[in-house]
Amino acid sequence: MSIDIEFPSSVYHGTLDIYYESFKNRILNKNYWKQGRDFGQGFYTTISIEQAKNWARSMQDKLNMGRPCVLEIELSPERLIFQPNYRIFAGISPTWGKYIYEHRTIPEYGNDPCESHAQIIIGPMADADTGKIVQDGLRLKKDNVWFLDKITRNHANRRLDGLELGNQIAFSDEELAPMLRLTGAYVYQGKRWRSYGAEETLE
């Protein structure tokens, strides 16, 4: 099957301002990619700047340092000299839930469950507290069907559709670096988000 994929012109990544200079030097760096993510190890982005802002705020709450920062990244796949392989989840499905469950339950130094992990993975986000759901699933020996039900509900236990869950695009190979270019950033400064160009220094 041949599929033509048209990427958005820009995607966003939520982080902290203390890491900004590192991203300016190198966007894709597998030394910082952790196991136990929805789509495995990789650099995670979204088409929604509001979603990226939520990621950045959550990161600050967890680490208690730095300021929330959102990277704006231009996508230009034509800069690649090869054709990447993809895994695309167009919406919520048992296969999508199983894929996330398998990648979320990898031991810290375990092997990736994919026979051949895709270089770019696109699909919905899991909702609620996925980390806790995974822990409960392992403790209670729950299956993929149980996991799928839990990750598609919000904290009030209301079922969400794919649009409400949000979107993520994960880049899992450093060889994809030529297609990503940092074009700017947004930093939360207490009451508002301030935008910066890629060449500006954060204040």
Q: What is the pLDDT along the chain (203 residues), one digit of tens a residue?
A: 567 889 999 999 999 999 999 999 999 999 999 888 999 999 999 999 999 999 999 999 999 999 999 999 999 999 999 999 999 999 999 999 999 999 999 877 778 899 899 999 999 988 767 888 989 998 999 999 999 999 998 888 888 888 888 899 999 999 999 999 999 999 999 889 999 998 888 88
Give CA–CA dist 194/203, Å, rounded.
10
171: β partners: 43, 120
CA distances (Å), origin 202, targets 50, 108, 141, 182: 20, 34, 47, 14
Domain boundaries, the chain: 10-197
